[in-house]
Amino acid sequence: MTTGSAREWVRRLQPYRLPSNRRSAFETVLTFGLLVSFWVLMWFALSYSIILTLLLSIPAALMMVRLFIIQHDCGHQSMFTTAKWNDRVGRALGVLTLTPYDYWRRSHAIHHAGSGNLDRRGVGDIDTMTVEEYLALSRIGRLKYRLYRHPLVMFGIGPAFIFMLQHRLPVSALKDGVMSWTSVMVTNLAIAAMWIALGMLVGFKAFLIIHLPIMLIGASVGVWMFYVQHQFNPTHWDHAPEWEREQAALHGSSYYDLPRPLMWVTGNIGIHHVHHLSSRIPFYRLPQVLRDFPELGQIGRLTLWESFKCVPLALWDEDRRRLVPFRAVRGRTAGAAAAA
């Protein structure tokens, strides 16, 4: 598909951009209600079995992921018809998802503005080096990057660090202006107040047993979803002169074709190529786009099984125009990569 046709898709998707305030409110209240219900069930289950409590943390965590997608849509101003209500709901949900709304919204907007652009990496995305850049690193530099891309760090330690610690005092918020810094600090105060109140209600030990697994599992699922939406083959990266936003949106974002229940709990964010083409489409209208335009369902499609094969991908090979694992460059040197 050409760049022109990718731009044409943006025009064709415009009718889907109008949200329904009633539907958006329903989805928000329903998801929040389910999260609270699972949380209460975990509290009662704790008196009988800690294993059952931990098992219930999985659906609770998925509801937390769904709330994050709703917050994400608020950040795109696609959840409600007014900016006031998008921002109000987004900031409130940020207390639950441990994500300062205004700060995150800015970094995510940068991600959308430069996704797939090799000259605009590093903000709101997963760090991805080219083969040449990696081979030019020192031995220590390569080790750091390999550790960063290790599955245990990428999907375990990393998500916990981002949501539990990095979002509490992101250094970049200091230079992003008053709004970002205020967002971080107010969110932190609200989180502290909520956690103290819940701890006093059920006991701080019980609170940690219940809430910590929800946050850790939810963070890992969220990072996994973001990972497979951009780290797959064939994806699309270009340097600035050749880069086109619409082309990168359509071909640099995957269609993660999950089973329907998983698509529901993840807020249809797997239909990511359509979302990047038109981020103002509410998450609950994305499936309708695929029903009306089935040809979009064949672009960047990943099944659940195929997505696990994306885990080893770590480097962008500019010659082959695809992501490759570390083993693909074993034995190569920086000079050989530049000359290839």
- Count CB neighbours of 12 within 10 A: 15
- Count Cα neighbours of 269 within 13 Å in the Cβ-side half-sphere: 23
Q: What is the pLDDT of residue 339?
A: 47
Tens of pLDDT, residue by residue, the chain (340 residues): 444 488 889 899 999 999 999 999 999 999 999 999 999 999 999 999 999 999 999 999 999 999 999 999 999 999 999 999 999 999 999 999 999 998 899 889 888 888 889 988 877 789 999 999 999 999 999 999 999 999 999 999 999 998 998 888 876 666 666 777 788 889 999 999 999 999 999 999 999 999 999 999 999 999 999 999 999 999 999 998 888 888 889 999 999 999 999 999 999 999 999 999 999 999 999 999 999 999 999 999 999 999 999 999 999 999 999 999 999 998 776 555 444 4
User: Is position 134 within any domain?
Assistant: no
- d(CA 234, CA 321) in angstroms, rounded, equals 8
Domain count, the chain: 1
- d(CA 101, CA 84) in angstroms, rounded, equals 13
Which residues fall within 8 angstroms of residue 300, CB to CB, at 6 or more apart? 232, 234, 235, 250, 251, 253, 254, 255, 272, 273
User: Is position 336 within any domain?
Assistant: no
Q: What is the pLDDT of residue 176?
A: 67
Q: What is the pLDDT of residue 4?
A: 46
Domain that holds residue 15: 3-128+150-308
Q: What is the pLDDT of residue 335?
A: 53
Q: What is the pTM of this model?
A: 0.92
| 322-324 β-sheet, strand order | 129-130, 315-317, 322-324
User: Is position 277 within any domain?
Assistant: yes
Q: What is the pLDDT of residue 242?
A: 87
Q: What is the pLDDT of residue 334?
A: 58
Q: Which amino acid is at 173?
A: A
Q: What is the pLDDT of residue 172?
A: 67
User: Is position 275 within any domain?
Assistant: yes
User: Is position 332 within any domain?
Assistant: no
User: Is position 133 within any domain?
Assistant: no
- d(CA 42, CA 40) in angstroms, rounded, equals 5
Q: Which structure tokens are listed for 42?
A: 């975990």
Terminal Cα distance for the chain, rounded: 28
- d(CA 9, CA 278) in angstroms, rounded, equals 9
Q: What is the pLDDT of residue 296?
A: 94
User: Is position 142 within any domain?
Assistant: no
User: Is position 338 within any domain?
Assistant: no
Which of 340, 291, 263, 265 is closest to 68 using CA atoms? 265
- d(CA 213, CA 62) in angstroms, rounded, equals 11
